[in-house]
């Protein structure tokens, strides 16, 4: 079931920073660091699991398996991307139930037309507002507990303008969304306009380095009225940089020093517990 800590913390008025993770290992690294939530994006999952772009390759099965894996090894609340719900109304219903059963604390659903595209890339189209609103309503009705939160995202800003995106957010709120996510505002003044339009609703800001939305300091986002700030690719891009560096060092015959020790690696993946169980049940090494 969902971790109720996310909903409780949102009530406090603090801005929750949610770094992007992409698999069980990155989740284990982030989990003990004290963040209010962790964020699993479709982009990072598609890249790490399939080696493919976030362009409709991921299925509901891919994501359900990934969220179960991650929730099994963390205590921090997880916010998980569910793209378009992977189909129509009945698919949204199944996806919500699968995510909630896995232990996800908030599911993110968007109004893009399939095949979807990453929110800060080209050629995104949105479905009719009535269809998108029905998906949000179904998501709210399908959950078993209201501690499992519904994040409704619109990608209408880029193609249809800010006013249409705001109109969609209002409809999503009325349909039962707990958190509104207006994707890809293009300036701090637009972020401010979003905050003013929904002063009594939890708002999510998506901080993607190199994306359409300017990287905005957390204190500014809080002042503008945002409750959540996700950094979906911060883990993936850091890992990619480190891997490139390590592989290049190996190719050039040098030893990279910028890496986790084997001891720390063992601790991170949980070998200490395995060894403790070995000792407890008499399976430890014998002289």
pLDDT confidence of residue 99:
97
Task: Name the DSSP class of 191.
Answer: H
> What's the CATH code, domain 5-240?
3.20.20.60
- For the chain, which residues score pLDDT lower than 70? 117-123, 257, 283-287
pLDDT confidence of residue 116:
74
* Residue 110 CB neighbours (<10 A): 24
**Rounded to an integer, what is the distance from CA 35 to the centroid of its chain?**
13
Against a cut of 0.85, is the pTM above it? Answer: yes
Q: What percent of the chain has pLDDT over 90?
A: 78
Question: What does the domain layout of the chain look like in residue ranges?
Answer: 5-240, 258-287
Cβ contacts of 259 within 8 Å, gap of 6 or more: 242, 246
The DSSP line for 55-124 is TT---HHHHHHHHHHHHTT--S-EEEE-TT-SSSHHHHHHHHHHHHHHT-SEEEEE-BPSSP--TTSS--
Sign of the Cα torsion 188, 189, 194, 198 reads positive
Each residue of 17-28: pLDDT tens digit?
Answer: 999 999 999 999
pLDDT confidence of residue 287:
41
């Amino acid at each position: 079931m969902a971790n109720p800590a996310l909903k409780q913390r949102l009530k406090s008025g603090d801005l929750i920073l949610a770094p992007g993770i992409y698999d069980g290992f990155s989740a284990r690294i982030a989990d003990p660091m004290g963040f209010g939530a962790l964020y699993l994006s479709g982009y990072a999952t598609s890249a790490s699991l399939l080696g493919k772009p976030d362009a409709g390759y991921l299925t509901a099965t891919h994501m359900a398996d990934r969220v179960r894996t991650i929730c099994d090894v963390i205590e921090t609340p997880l916010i998980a991307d569910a793209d378009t719900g992977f189909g129509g109304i009945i698919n949204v219903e199944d996806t919500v139930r699968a995510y909630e059963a896995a232990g996800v604390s908030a599911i993110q659903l968007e109004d893009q037309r399939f095949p979807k595209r990453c929110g800060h890339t080209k050629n995104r189209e949105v479905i009719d507002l009535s269809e998108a609103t029905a998906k949000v309503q179904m998501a709210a009705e399908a959950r078993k507990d209201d501690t499992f939160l519904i994040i409704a995202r619109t990608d209408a800003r880029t193609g249809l303008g800010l006013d249409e995106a705001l109109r969609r957010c209002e409809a999503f709120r009325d349909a039962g969304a707990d958190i509104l996510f207006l994707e890809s505002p293009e300036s701090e003044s637009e972020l401010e306009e979003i905050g003013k339009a929904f002063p009594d609703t939890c708002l999510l800001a998506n901080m993607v380095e190199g994306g359409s939305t300017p990287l905005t300091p957390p204190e500014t986002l809080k002042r503008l009225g945002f409750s959540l700030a996700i950094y979906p690719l911060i883990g993936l891009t850091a890992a990619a940089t480190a891997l490139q560096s390590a592989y290049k060092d190996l190719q050039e015959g040098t030893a990279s020093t910028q890496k986790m020790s084997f001891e720390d690696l063992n601790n991170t993946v949980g070998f200490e517990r395995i060894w403790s169980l070995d000792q407890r049940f008499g399976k430890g090494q014998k002289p």
